Structure 1
Amino acid sequence: MALALAVPVFGPPAAGKTTLTAALGALPGRAVFRLREHVPETILAATATSAERLGWIDDFTVVTALRGYIEATASASAAHTVLFDNFPGSGAQVRFFLTVLEQHAPGCAVRAVELAADTTTLYRRAFQRRVCHRCERDPIRDPRLPAVPSVEDAQRCARCGGILHPRRGDAPRLLRARLNRYRQTADGIREAFTAAGVPVTQLDGGASADQTAEAMTVLLTRSSQP
C-alpha cells in the first residue's frame, strides 16, 4: 500500500482539527500525524506554558520529526492516506513538508484543508471542551485530545470514568496567544501551498463534527479518484 494522499489540516484553535482527523484517521488505510507525538519531551515542556512559545517547535526539530515519520510510513506501506493534524504551522513548514514528501513519497498527492470558524464559536468550544488525563497519557501531562463526557455525569469521561479537566492551552491568556499566532501565520500557509500548486479547501469548522466529517469525506473521495 503506497502513500497516495497527504491531507494537511490547519486552522485556528478549537476549529475541530483534532476531532476531525481522529475520526477519519481511524478508518482502514489511514493514519494521523501529530507533530508533538514525534518530538522530545524536553522540547514540548519548554513550550507548554509560555504564551510566546506555546507549542512552537524549532524548524530543525520539525524537519527531523517529519522526515522520520514520512520515511517510516512510506517504507512500511501501512497507510494510503495520512491526515496531518494542525500541520504545517507556517509557510516555511509548508515548504519543508512538500520537500520531504517529494523525497520519500514521490507521487503522493496533497490536498490542504483549512477549517474556519468565527471567534465566538472558537471561544465557546475552548471553554466547553475537556480532556482526560487518565485516557491520554501525555508525556508532559498536557493532554490535547478532546474527551467525550459521560451521559450520566458531564464532568467524567465516558470511556474510563475519570474526572475531566480543561485543556491547559485553553486558558484565556494562552488561547488569545494561540489565536493571534494563527492569524499571523495563516496567510503564509495558504500562500506557500498556492505557490506550490496545492489547492487549499476551506471547510466550515463551525458546523457539527458529523457535518464537517461528511464534507471532508466527500473531499477525500474526490481526491482519490483518477
Structure 2
Amino acid sequence: MTLALAVPVFGPPAAGKTTLTAALGQMPGCAVFRLREHVPETILAATATSAERLGWIDDFTVVTALRGYIDATVQAGAAHTVFFDNFPSTGAQVRFFLMLLEQHAPGCAVRAVELAVDTTTLYRRAFHRRVCHHCERDPIRDPRLPAVPSTDDAQRCARCGGILHPRRGDAPRLLRARIQRYRQTADGIRQAFAAAGVTVTQLDGGASAEQTTKAVTTLLIRSSQP
C-alpha cells in the first residue's frame, strides 16, 4: 500500500481536531499521527504544565519523530492516507513536513484542513471536556483524547466506568496560553502551505463531530476526482 495522501488538521485548542482525526483514522487504509505519541517522555514531561512551554517541542525532536513515523509507515505499507492531528503547528514545521514527505513518499498529495471555531465555543467545549486516565495510558499521566461519558453518570467513562477528569491543558490559565499561541502561529502555518502551493481548506469546527467528519470526507473525495 502506497502512502498517497497526507491530511494535516490544525486549529485552536478544543476545535475538535482529535475527535475528527480519530473518526477518520478508523476508515480502511487510514492512520493518524499524533506527535506526542512519538516523543520521549522526558521531553513531554518538561512541557506539560508551563503556560509558556505547554506542548512546545523543539524542532530537532519534531523532525526526528516525523521522519521515523513517515519512513516506517511507507516501509510497512501500512496506510494510503494519514491524518496529522494538530500538526504542523508552526510554519517551520510545515516546511519540515513537506520536505520529509517529498523525501520518503514522493508523489504523496497534501490536503490541509483548518478548523475554525469562535472563542466562546472553544471555552465551552474545554470546560465540559473530560479524559479517562484508565482508558488512555498516557506516559506522563496527561491524557488528551476526549472520553465519552456514560449515559447513566456523566462523571464516569462509558467505556470502562472509571471516573473522568478535566484535561490538564484545559485549565483556564493554560487554555488562554494555548489559544494565544495558536493565534500567533496560524498565519505562519497558512503562509507556509500557500508558499508550497498547498491549499488550506477552512471548515466550521463549531459544527457537530458527525457534520465535520462528513465535510472532510466529502472534501477528500472531491479532491481525488480528476
**SS of the residue 2:165 aligns to:** coil
Aligned partner of residue 120 in structure 2, secondary structure: helix
- The yes-or-no answer on 1:7 pairing with 2:11 is no
RMSD over aligned CA atoms reads 0.5
1: distance between equivalents of 2:192 and 2:99? 12
Partner of 1:165: 165
Structure 2 regions of 5+ residues with no counterpart? Answer: none
Query: Is the 8 Å Cα contact of residues 5 and 224 (structure 1) preserved in structure 2?
Result: no
User: C-alpha deviations, 1:176-225, integer Å up to 9, x for none?
Assistant: 00000000000000000000000000000000111101101101112333
Superposed, 1:42-121 pairs within 5 Å as: 42-121=42-121
Could you tell me which residue of structure 1 aligns to residue 20 of structure 2?
Answer: 20
Contact 1:29 1:81 in 2 (8 A): yes
* Distance in 1 between residues matched to 2:168 and 2:56, nearest whole Å: 15
The 2-side partners of 1:65 and 1:224 are apart by 28
Matched, 1:187 2:179: no
SS in 1 for 2:88: coil
Q: What count of residue pairs does the alignment treat as equivalent?
A: 226
Distance 1:45 1:225 in 2: 44
1:27 Cα deviation (Å)? 1.0
Q: What residue ranges of structure 1 are gaps of 5+ in the alignment?
A: none
**SS at the partner of 1:49?**
coil
Alignment match, 2:213:
213
CA shift for structure 1 position 117: 0.4
Q: Give the whole-Å Cα distance in 1 for the aligned partners of 2:106 and 2:132.
A: 39
| Distance (Å, rounded) in 2 between the aligned partners of 1:7 and 1:22 | 13
* Per-residue CA distance 1:16-58 (angstroms, 9 max, x = gap): 0000000010111000000000000000000000000000000
Maintained 8 Å contact 1:91/1:191: yes
Q: Is the Cα contact below 8 Å between 1:131 and 1:167 reproduced in 2?
A: yes
> Is the Cα contact below 8 Å between 1:190 and 1:200 reproduced in 2?
yes
How far apart in 1 are the matches of 2:172 and 2:8? 27
Q: Tell me the secondary structure at the aligned position of residue 131 of structure 2.
A: coil
Task: Tell me, in whole angstroms, the C-alpha distance in 1 between the residues paired with 2:25 and 2:114.
Answer: 17
Question: Which 4+ residue blocks in structure 1 deviate beyond 3 angstroms?
Answer: none
How far 1:136 sits from its partner (Å)? Answer: 0.1
Say whether 1:155 aligns with 2:155: yes
Residue 199 of structure 1 corresponds to 199
Cα separation, 1, equivalents of 2:214 and 2:27: 14
State the AA in 2 paired with 1:212. T
